[in-house]
A and B are shown apart, each in its own frame.
Chain A
Amino acid sequence: MQQKASGGNPSPSARPAAGERTGRRESIYPHRSVRALPMSSVRLTAGVGLALLITVWSVWNAVPIMETHSQVAAAIAGWAGLPINGWTPIGIFPGLEPASGPQLAIPSFQEVSEGARLALVFSIIALLLLAQRFSLFRNVANFLIVILIASAVANAVFDNFRLQSTAFGQIWLRQEMLVWLILPWVLILLFVIPQPSVWRGLGWVVFLQAYGFFFSALRMVFVLGVLHYTGLLFMPPLWFLLGTLSDLLFILFFYSLAIHRSSGDLWGVRETWQSHF
């Protein structure tokens, strides 16, 4: 008969006073049903403080941040071989100095090549196949197919369904700027307050804020490139996949890493799990 320590009863873990004699083990590792990670005011204060700092700094430096974003995007566009004709000032938010928007030709539906239209058809077929093969992906695939078809119809029917690259840059920057303002608060809720290490948590927040900035520039250039070569046909699904969904994706990716790391750390640290008496 196999027996285990009574999981519901974490043994005491009182820390000895300085100079007091100690035994080799202070406690039994508690069963998972009774584990806990007590909230710490240090983590809460540090997290809120950092989020506030980043938000205030971002609001204060909104224009330079957006300018830098445009410069980074310009550099990436250069490496990607996109024929950007220059950057023109665009108003992002009322009351703020304008930032720069890219000037890149986006063809209308009538101007796009046959290749782009074929790509649309192939994309739909590919999505159908994916939906058949991976049932878990079916809903996303179906949704993408619907908006691809809707996009094709809107492009074909409405002549005024046009978008300049500067206007696209404007929408993108407005959205991402809002994301960067919300991001630190979401990050402290996931990476600082509920994690055992406050310093690592703060490190994650700073790193992910920067990562979000560069990832946004990269995505924007990719979407601009696709728009340049295929018009607005793919814009709705790209907006869906590479807009805020991608912001969520990178947060989830790094959150899973943080959880993985914390789980490993906590496994060996009995004291962290337990309250003292």
Chain B
Amino acid sequence: MAIPLLVAVSYGVIAFTVVFLLLFAIRHYLLGYSRLRISRPKDSMELVGFHMPRVTVLIPMHNEERVAGDILQALVDSDYDWEKLEVIPINDRSDDKTQAIIDSFAKRYPFIQPLHRTGGQSGKPAALVEACARATGEILVLFDADYVPGRAVIKMLVAPFADPEIGASMGRVVPHNIGDSLLSGLLSLERSAGYQGVQQSRFNLGFTAQFGGTVGAVRASALESVGGWNPQSLTEDTDLTFALLLNGWKTAYVNRAECYEEVPRSWLVRRRQLSRWVTGHTECLHNYWPDLMRSQFLTAWEKVDALFLLAMYWTAPVLVLGWIASLLLFFTPEAHQTPWLPVALAFLGYQLFANQATFLEIGVASMLDGTRIRSLLLPLNLLNFFANTGAICNALRKFYWNRFWGSGGDGWYKTHRTRGSSGSGGFQGAAAGSPVATRSARGLYHARTQGD
């Protein structure tokens, strides 16, 4: 009795897995194809430079001596009108040279108004809450400390705000340290698919883009209307995306507003980053899905898209559940008598395990970006796929365990920077001869501050 029940349950699990992941696979295919065929992307590039409200740039920093100089110099080089620009580097209790670097810039450039935090809740969301109270800009632009924005990025991020419905805008992040490790090379493919493929596609289809919290901008009044940043959230950006959406605001995606970032080079760092994303994202799912379903501002398709977005990390445990069911069937000789076993395995293999649709997105983005050499790394992305699956399952297990027992979850974890450390070679991402490359490459920057 037990064995037939086990076999039946296993088949049921596989059937559920197939259906669940097939829906996600279809979504991936639709988004991939949709991006490929967009001949006229929704973009506000023609308005760039014609909409110039007062802007405050916020840069949360905690022990960022390796990268602080690069981003501050890049902002000084920006082509945004200094009269309308305010930069607030938020030094959140750094115990390295971050404060000295920020102060040296603030001395030279009056639009740089540092905020040195010495108390209060730690972490990026709390730092942002404090900085926002001091910001004078109509639009708040956010960069992570390891990002290096190009000269025109602020203008590009701000242009969509000519539309009063836009509450936030999001640019594209491009990893510069693609050769630091195999992981960073593979992550660059993933980022490409995520921004060039999925974000642009979703925005063009009329769905709200996902605000990423970096290389993004938010309308100060919209932020205020949703109660500001959620300092309890591990992913304050995703939280804000959905808080804005529920109030009728949209997030715009600006594919041309490209900005270099540093992706994790070691799996340990990546796993922690992923764990934070999974926890914060799933928290948002639980917090927002009932309101999303009831929202009168959203169409049915927007609701479906929002649900898919919020539930995307669930695919990993469902996939693992399918594998476990197929293993149980494999170790149960009784199951071998039925022709459904290979049917189940084949479908599981193709629709779930394979999940080739995500690889299609990478392929589409690689074609559009023209990244020829990196596209050949695709078979190795299988390793990344397995690694992500494990890390996501683990993070979800912790999240639900904590939620069930009411214990505290993970704290905010700062992604480790490697730029400027031995072996990573510093930031050389800008094209040769570019003023930013010349002025803000780490070595030159340090030479200058030493001179100071």
B33 near A39 with CB under 8 A, answer: yes
B39 near A274 with CB under 8 A, answer: yes
Interface centre among B46, B342, B378 (most CB of A within 10 A): B342
The residues of A that contact B94 with a CB separation of less than 8 Å are none
Question: Which A residue's beta carbon lies closest to that of B378?
Answer: A256
Cα distance, A244 to B182, chains bound together (Å)? 25
Give which listed residue, A2, A33, A138, A167, contacts B336 with CB less than 8 A: A167
A150 near B331 with CB under 8 A, answer: yes
Interface centre among B33, B367, B379, B431 (most CB of A within 10 A): B367
Q: Contacting chain B: which of A74-82, A174-182, A199-207? A: A174-182
Give which listed residue, B41, B255, B366, contacts A259 with CB less than 8 A: B366
Give which listed residue, B29, B359, B370, B371, contacts A255 with CB less than 8 A: B359
**Does A22 sit within 8 A of B, measured CB to CB?**
no
The residues of A that contact B377 with a CB separation of less than 8 Å are 256
The residues of A that contact B347 with a CB separation of less than 8 Å are 178
**Does A257 sit within 8 A of B, measured CB to CB?**
yes
| Min distance, Cβ B157 to any Cβ of chain A, angstroms | 13
The residues of B that contact A274 with a CB separation of less than 8 Å are 39
A244 near B345 with CB under 8 A, answer: yes
Question: Which B residue's beta carbon lies closest to that of A175?
Answer: B342
Cα distance, A256 to B374, chains bound together (Å)? 9
Question: Which A residue's beta carbon lies closest to that of B172?
Answer: A33
Cα distance, A274 to B41, chains bound together (Å)? 12
B353 near A135 with CB under 8 A, answer: no
B366 near A9 with CB under 8 A, answer: no
**Does B267 sit within 8 A of A, measured CB to CB?**
yes
Contact with B along A227-252 (1 / 0, CB 8 A): 00000000010010001110111011
Cα distance, A135 to B386, chains bound together (Å)? 11
Give which listed residue, B29, B48, B379, B390, contacts A256 with CB less than 8 A: B379
B363 near A179 with CB under 8 A, answer: no
The residues of A that contact B343 with a CB separation of less than 8 Å are 174, 178
**Does B435 sit within 8 A of A, measured CB to CB?**
yes
| Min distance, Cβ B82 to any Cβ of chain A, angstroms | 16
**Does B356 sit within 8 A of A, measured CB to CB?**
yes
**Does B32 sit within 8 A of A, measured CB to CB?**
yes
Interface centre among A9, A139, A160 (most CB of B within 10 A): A139
Question: Which B residue's beta carbon lies closest to that of A92?
Answer: B339
Give which listed residue, B43, B186, B339, contacts A33 with CB less than 8 A: B43
The residues of B that contact A239 with a CB separation of less than 8 Å are 330
A253 near B330 with CB under 8 A, answer: no
Cα distance, A171 to B350, chains bound together (Å)? 16
The residues of B that contact A258 with a CB separation of less than 8 Å are 363
**Does A8 sit within 8 A of B, measured CB to CB?**
yes
The residues of A that contact B383 with a CB separation of less than 8 Å are 136-137, 140
| Min distance, Cβ A10 to any Cβ of chain B, angstroms | 9
B45 near A6 with CB under 8 A, answer: yes
**Does B256 sit within 8 A of A, measured CB to CB?**
yes
Cα distance, A154 to B348, chains bound together (Å)? 23
Give which listed residue, A162, A171, A252, contacts B341 with CB less than 8 A: A171
**Does B15 sit within 8 A of A, measured CB to CB?**
no
B33 near A243 with CB under 8 A, answer: no
The residues of A that contact B373 with a CB separation of less than 8 Å are 260
**Does A142 sit within 8 A of B, measured CB to CB?**
yes
B46 near A33 with CB under 8 A, answer: no
Contact with A along B63-82 (1 / 0, CB 8 A): 00000000000000000000
The residues of A that contact B367 with a CB separation of less than 8 Å are 37, 194, 259, 262-263, 266
Name the interface residues of A115-159: CB closer than 8 Å to any CB of B: 135-140, 142-143, 147, 150, 154
The residues of A that contact B46 with a CB separation of less than 8 Å are 8-9
**Does B293 sit within 8 A of A, measured CB to CB?**
no
**Does B387 sit within 8 A of A, measured CB to CB?**
yes
> What is the predominant secondary structure among interface residues of chain A facing chain B?
helix
B267 near A136 with CB under 8 A, answer: yes
Name the interface residues of A15-43: CB closer than 8 Å to any CB of B: 31-39
| Min distance, Cβ B444 to any Cβ of chain A, angstroms | 17
The residues of B that contact A174 with a CB separation of less than 8 Å are 339, 341-343
Give which listed residue, A138, A139, A160, A175, contacts B346 with CB less than 8 A: A175
The residues of A that contact B354 with a CB separation of less than 8 Å are 186, 244, 247-248, 251
A138 near B369 with CB under 8 A, answer: no
| Min distance, Cβ A128 to any Cβ of chain B, angstroms | 16
B350 near A160 with CB under 8 A, answer: no
**Does A267 sit within 8 A of B, measured CB to CB?**
yes
B267 near A138 with CB under 8 A, answer: yes
Name the interface residues of B344-401: CB closer than 8 Å to any CB of A: 345-350, 353-354, 356, 359-360, 363-364, 366-373, 375-379, 381-384, 386-387, 389-391
**Does A63 sit within 8 A of B, measured CB to CB?**
no
B435 near A259 with CB under 8 A, answer: no
A143 near B345 with CB under 8 A, answer: no
Cα distance, A39 to B363, chains bound together (Å)? 15
**Does B294 sit within 8 A of A, measured CB to CB?**
no
Contact with A along B316-345 (1 / 0, CB 8 A): 000000000001001101001001011101
The residues of A that contact B376 with a CB separation of less than 8 Å are 256-257, 260
A36 near B375 with CB under 8 A, answer: no
The residues of B that contact A57 with a CB separation of less than 8 Å are none
| Min distance, Cβ A258 to any Cβ of chain B, angstroms | 8
List 11 A–B pairs whose Cβ atoms lie within 8 Å, in order of A's numbering.
Answer: A34-B43, A135-B183, A139-B391, A182-B346, A194-B36, A194-B360, A236-B331, A259-B363, A263-B371, A264-B372, A267-B372
Chain B residues packing against A (C-beta within 8 Å): 29, 32-33, 35-41, 43, 45-46, 48, 172, 182-183, 186, 196, 200, 255-256, 258, 266-268, 327, 330-331, 333, 336, 339, 341-343, 345-350, 353-354, 356, 359-360, 363-364, 366-373, 375-379, 381-384, 386-387, 389-391, 431, 433-435
